[in-house]
Amino acid sequence: MKNKSFYALLAGESVANAGDTFYIVALITTVFNVTDSLFYVSLVPVINLSGGFLGGLVAPLLIDRFKLKSILLNSQFVKTCILLVLSLYVSLFLSIDTFMIIYMLIFCINFLDGFAHPTSSAIIPELIEEAYLLKANSLMSSVYQFINMGGWAVGGMLAVLLHSNGLLILTFILYVLSTFLLTFIKIEEKKLITSSSEKESTMHSFLEGWKLIMVDSKLRILQVTLFLGSFAAPVWVSSIIYPFIKLRLQEGTEWWGYINAAFFLGLFFGGLFGYTKSDLVNRNIQLVILICGFIASIMTFLFGINSYPLLALLLSSIYGLFHELYMIAINTLIQGRVKEKILAKVYAAQSSITMVTFGVSTLLFGVIGERFNIIAVFIISSIVLFLSFIILLANKKQLSISIIDTNQNVDIE
């Protein structure tokens, strides 16, 4: 039962992720074709980020009131309905004057993703035995990265063949399939043991995940490293990589695709290694996290100072491999530390912090790159990652799986 439910979750979320990619390609194509404006196009990721952030904030309130499967299934169902409305609206009323409605619908879809993602991650430990958590996380990560690798390329080709309207309809079909697959998840969720005052306390629900991160030393160390990682991450997004290719590598825009492909290939093989060598990684999880964190900082530094295109491909791929393995191990530690609905709240708080940090850091790195030079951006990022490694090294005893019994109460000593 548990294995079948896990594969239903994997299949449902994978199909939904493919739909998410196609949906973004369709939107970018639609917005640019109508407006011919990079500003309007740039609003799409900003709205995505805002919706996801607010969804993460609201998530704890829903987690206390509904079952995890119900949240995941219903959020995907509502997303499907909103996408149908979006598809019809784009087909019938598309013009530069109607973009406000389109952006509102985009916001709603990503708002739902804001609490669907932490819920999905929290369900995994309820379906898989603890000894196989890392293997399960690695499998899901490998599949997701494979979809990411091919999704944008396939989405681009489908946009040419089907146009944006056809691509939105295809996304709707994938969302319907995803909703259907998620119905096959079977999970026995324990009833929450809370006092009547806690049930009535919206603030308690809202802050529970945040409080647990603050009071539990292991979660706090892991969150600090994730915070620093999200601050350093924007150097690998298009707004930084694209000018780096032009200014440092002195190559054409096609190298943008090559480096992205190499990066995602590294992520894929990182997940694949975690899956095939899960026992080895589990036995040495502390060492794996430290080595991967150190190598990620070194690869970022070398990539930034490098001016050889082929070497850039190799460095980005190596970074992707070790970064993915690092994130899988960290995620496994978090899942092994807390369980059930408290875990979903921790993921929701973590997601909100990561989104805000990533957004602010992206703007900051853009200013630094323009004011100084593109190399400085990568050097700063590598320093931040090295600082994260030092923090982990100083707290390496915290890098072990041990479950805490919160009894739905975060007042931990």
List pLDDT tens digits, range 275-314: 999 889 888 999 999 999 999 999 999 999 999 999 999 9
Q: What is the DSSP letter of 247?
A: I
Q: What is the DSSP letter of 405?
A: -
Q: What is the structure's pLDDT at 410?
A: 45
309-337 and 133-182 helices cross at what angle (nearest 10)? Answer: 90
List pLDDT tens digits, range 233-254: 888 876 688 788 888 888 876 7
Name the CATH code of domain 202-398 (choices 1.20.1250.20, 3.20.20.70, 1.20.1600.10, 3.40.50.720). 1.20.1250.20
Residues 349, 355, 358, 359: is their CA dihedral positive or negative?
negative
CA 190/CA 181 separation, integer angstroms: 23
Buried residues in 347-366 as b, exposed as e (16+ CB within 10 A): bbbbbbbbbebbbebbeebb
Q: Residue 156: exposed, middle, or buried by beta-carbon count in 10 A (0-12, 13-18, 19+)?
A: middle
Helix, strand or coil, per DSSP, at residue 408: coil
Amino acid at 122: A
Element (H, E) at 215: helix 202-215
Spans of all domains in the chain: 2-131+150-186, 202-398
Q: What is the structure's pLDDT at 190?
A: 61
Record the tokens describing residue 291, joined without a space.
């080595």
Record the tokens describing residue 337, joined without a space.
């530390």
| Same fold across 2-131+150-186 and 202-398 | yes
Neighbours of 40 (CB within 10 A): 16
Return the C-alpha torsion angle 407, 409, 411, 413, nearest 10: 20
Q: What is the structure's pLDDT at 50?
A: 86
CA 31/CA 46 separation, integer angstroms: 14
Amino acid at 72: L
135 touches 275 (CB < 8 A): yes
Per-residue DSSP letters for 228-265? HHHHHGGGGSHHHHHHHIIIII---THHHHHHHHHHHH
CA 345/CA 331 separation, integer angstroms: 14
99-127 and 38-65 helices cross at what angle (nearest 10)? Answer: 40
Amino acid at 247: L
**Which residue do the tokens 């409080």 mark?**
211
87 touches 172 (CB < 8 A): yes
Record the tokens describing residue 71, joined without a space.
């949240």
Q: Could you give phi then psi for residue 277, rounded to 5 degrees?
A: -115, 35
342 touches 409 (CB < 8 A): no
| Helices within 36-132 (DSSP H only) | 38-65, 68-93, 99-127
Picking from 18, 12, 170, 41, the residue whose alpha carbon sits closest to that of residue 106 is 41
Return all residues near 70 (Cβ < 8 A) that are at least 6 apart: none
**pLDDT tens digits for the chain (413 residues)?**
457 889 999 999 999 999 988 888 888 778 877 877 767 776 777 788 888 888 888 888 888 788 888 999 999 999 999 999 988 888 887 777 778 888 899 899 989 988 888 888 888 888 888 888 889 988 988 888 788 777 777 877 787 788 888 888 999 999 999 999 999 998 876 655 444 454 546 677 677 888 888 888 888 899 999 999 999 988 887 668 878 888 888 887 678 778 888 888 999 999 999 999 988 988 899 999 999 999 999 999 999 999 999 999 999 999 999 999 999 999 888 888 887 778 888 888 888 888 888 888 888 888 888 788 889 999 999 999 999 999 999 988 877 765 555 544 444 43
Architecture of the domain whose range is 2-131+150-186: Up-down Bundle (1.20)
Rama region for 187: left / alpha / beta (φ>0; ψ in -120 to 50; rest): beta
